[in-house]
Amino acid sequence: MSCIRFDLCQVVVAAGCILSGLFVFDWIFSIPSRSLPLPPGPKGHWFFGVKKQLPRKEPWKVYASWAKLYAEPVISFRVFNRPVIVVNDLQSITDLLQQRVGNTSDRPEQYMSHHVCGRSKTVFNISSSDPRHKIYRRLLQQGLGLKSTKTYWPTLQEELETLLKGLSESPQNYVQHIRRNFVGVIMRVTYGYSIDSLGDTFVRVAEETAAITEKTMAAGSWLVDYYPIVRHLPSFFPGGDFKRKGRVWRDRLGYLSDVPHQWVKNQMASGNYSDSFTSSLLAKDGVPVSSEEEDIIRWCAGGLYVGASDTTVSAITSFILLMASHPEAQSRAQAEIDEICGRVQTPQPAQLGSLTYLHAVLKEVLRYAPIGNLGTVTFFGMNSMRLIYHLPIRIALPHSVVEDDEYRGYRIPKGATIMGNVWAIMHDPSIFPNPDVFSPERFLEVSPHGQQSSPSQPDPRQWAFGFGRRACPGVYFAETSLLLVMAGILSKFSIGLPPKAAAPNISFTTGLVRYIVNLISHVSIYSLTWFHVATSSHSTFA
Ligand code: HEM
């Protein structure tokens, strides 16, 4: 008996030694060759790199401070064995992320999510070298471009009316009303499906998908994402449990992604369906689509919902807080809306083009409170509620480098994760003077009094929606829906702080989709005042 135990011990020790040896081998050879130096940056621990040092709070500010410390706009560090490059100024972002797009538009490989859980073909994860990526981009750009967005105007208008009604009934629940609006719009646009509330089955499906996806993609959680050797560990071995969990999640995610898609197919078969992104692609030219084409349609549709929900909700909640704390900007926007849209009707999508000041407000919201501070966002639809309660978000969708490259005498290694520090640009005083002041006027050529002011500052939308071949395909649709909601809210309500409330000290959540903390944690302090249009009197509901 003791002899057997001794043998087992020996086997375990021997296996441990071999694995550790292979691990070190894997680690050494996964670090790129050293012909040119990497950009400067903190060295970190020999095994973890800077994983444990990475700031939990506002990392973009820390990256900007490292750029200053190392006197170099391009910095690098390591998380486990993976090099990470952060580009911190306009020139380097333009050069690396907007010009060398062919080399910086890939996504980092995440073995757990992509391969174990079968998520390598999602719009967000797919490699830029996969021929499908081009097809996805084409379908998404067509489905969300100017022409298609016009066909969604009636949906946007109807959902706006529901939002305004909800706000008038319970303004204190405005975050939920706003979420309901964007989720309702995107479900109708994507699947022709109308939700009744945020507790709707399809919404819960999306929420569960988001929750599982977060677990599979949580940065630094799966050693197998960094070290290929871990793929060969048995399930019972420490670090090997990803296989068992991955199998369960893969099956569940596969089932969940089929629910709305199958629903559209059933509706189409019954002849009773509303036109949507999915139905129009499935019904193309009356010819049945192949299974490959159907798979592409399913993934693209999933991308729409995920891409649209948190981002738009974040933008509007920031807008509400900024309007509450900047009454002069709010009054000016309202005066413009009154003049262009009239005081009785709800603003219409066709009128949005004439709302110059409101466009400037949107630009300033995207600049002042960028949604993706690192040029990328975390898209997990219904997770806004979790953000609201300050739970950490640990997943990001950064870019990765396709081939070894050289920049400013440094090596930009193949496979490195690369991020543009959008926050640094949006708060660079040489680009946006007084960057910490919220001022939509910076985007106007003419001052409020009609005099010529200094030339307007650069359009922040060129950085707010990401870069290169991964840049947001929903930008046009997003702007239309955001402007319509902003115009609708300001046409019917005034947003204010309660009497005697001190101006809030604005700070933000640290997730890669950023929310303003104050708004979220002091929701109840905000009051919305309903304009009784006919009599021009006001009554406060909150
Ligand atoms: C305020 C609103 C929005 C903002 C600020 C925003 C921002 C972004 C950003 C920063 C990215 C990542 C780009 C990159 O990796 O370089 C992105 C990607 C994406 N967005 Fe948006 N977005 C918004 C709204 C929307 C909407 C409404 C949709 C769809 C209806 C959408 C769909 C997508 C998709 C599908 C991607 C993935 C593109 C890819 O990986 O190829 N987004 N967005």
CATH code for position 227: 1.10.630.10
Position 331 confidence tier, pLDDT thresholds 50, 70, 90: very high
User: Which is the closest atom of ligand 1 to the Cα of 190?
Assistant: 30
Domain assignment of residue 542, yes or no: no
Distance set, CA 449 to CA 334, 442, 444, 446, 452 (Å) = 17, 14, 12, 8, 9
Distance set, CA 283 to CA 39, 293, 294 (Å) = 51, 12, 11
Domain span at 118: 8-535
Measured at the CA of 162, the angle between CA 528 and CA 269, to 5 degrees, comes to: 155
**496 — phi, psi (to 5°)?**
-145, 165
Domain assignment of residue 2, yes or no: no
Domain assignment of residue 3, yes or no: no
Position 264 confidence tier, pLDDT thresholds 50, 70, 90: very high
Residue 434: predicted pLDDT: 95
| pLDDT, tens digit (0-9, with 9 covering 90-100), for 383-410 | 333 333 333 333 347 899 999 999 999 9
Which residue would you say has higher pLDDT here, 226 or 23?
226
How far is ligand 1, taken at its centre, from the CA of residue 482, in Å?
A: 14
How far is ligand 1, taken at its centre, from the CA of residue 285, in Å?
A: 29
Residue 11: predicted pLDDT: 53
User: Distance from CA of residue 505 to its chain's centroid?
Assistant: 24
pLDDT of 448 > 50? The answer is: yes
Residue 16: predicted pLDDT: 60
Residue identifier of the C-alpha nearest atom 21 of ligand 1: 472
- For residue 328, the surrounding DSSP H or E stretch is helix 327-341
Domain assignment of residue 540, yes or no: no
Residue 322: predicted pLDDT: 87
Position 503 confidence tier, pLDDT thresholds 50, 70, 90: low
How far is ligand 1, taken at its centre, from the CA of residue 520, in Å?
A: 23
User: Which is the closest atom of ligand 1 to the Cα of 420?
Assistant: 16
How far is ligand 1, taken at its centre, from the CA of residue 308, in Å?
A: 7
Position 519 confidence tier, pLDDT thresholds 50, 70, 90: very low
| pLDDT, tens digit (0-9, with 9 covering 90-100), for 33-80 | 558 999 999 998 888 888 877 776 678 888 999 999 999 999 999 988
Domain assignment of residue 397, yes or no: yes
pLDDT of 428 > 50? The answer is: yes
- Across 70-199, the runs of DSSP E, i.e. the strands, are 74-79, 82-87
> Which of 359, 363, 379, 472 to mutate for ligand 1's pocket (most ligand atoms within 8 Å of CB)?
472
Residue 537: predicted pLDDT: 32
Residue 314: predicted pLDDT: 84
How far is ligand 1, taken at its centre, from the CA of residue 15, in Å?
A: 46
For residue 450, what is the DSSP state? S
Domain assignment of residue 541, yes or no: no
Average pLDDT of the residues in 223-240: 86
Domain assignment of residue 116, yes or no: yes
Average pLDDT of the residues in 195-206: 89
Residues with CB under 6 A from ligand 1: 123-124, 140, 144, 303-304, 307-308, 311-312, 315, 371-372, 375-377, 397, 464-467, 470-474, 477-478
Residue identifier of the C-alpha nearest atom 13 of ligand 1: 466
Euclidean distance between CA atoms 277 and 140, whole angstroms: 9
Please indicate if the annotation marks 3 as binding a ligand: no
pLDDT of 271 > 50? The answer is: yes
Distance set, CA 276 to CA 291, 345, 389, 491 (Å) = 19, 27, 33, 29
Which residue would you say has higher pLDDT here, 242 or 527?
242
The terminus-to-terminus CA distance of the chain in angstroms comes to 76
Residue 496: predicted pLDDT: 79
pLDDT of 284 > 80? The answer is: no
Which residue would you say has higher pLDDT here, 150 or 23?
150
| pLDDT, tens digit (0-9, with 9 covering 90-100), for 143-154 | 999 999 999 999
Euclidean distance between CA atoms 253 and 241, whole angstroms: 18
Measured at the CA of 482, the angle between CA 429 and CA 125, to 5 degrees, comes to: 80
- CB within 8 Å of 47: residues ≥ 6 apart: 27, 80
Residue 515 is encoded by which pair of tokens? 């929310």
Residue 305: predicted pLDDT: 83
Domain count, the chain: 1
pLDDT of 344 > 60? The answer is: yes
Instruction: Give the residue among 420, 428, 426 at the shortest CA–CA distance from 459.
Output: 426
**Average pLDDT taken over every residue of the chain:** 82
Percent of the chain with pLDDT over 90: 55
Q: How many CA atoms lie within 13 A of 352 on its CB side?
A: 23
Residue 54: predicted pLDDT: 76
> Which of 311, 366, 379 to mutate for ligand 1's pocket (most ligand atoms within 8 Å of CB)?
311
ipTM above 0.85, yes or no: yes
Which residue would you say has higher pLDDT here, 31 or 418?
418
Domain assignment of residue 376, yes or no: yes
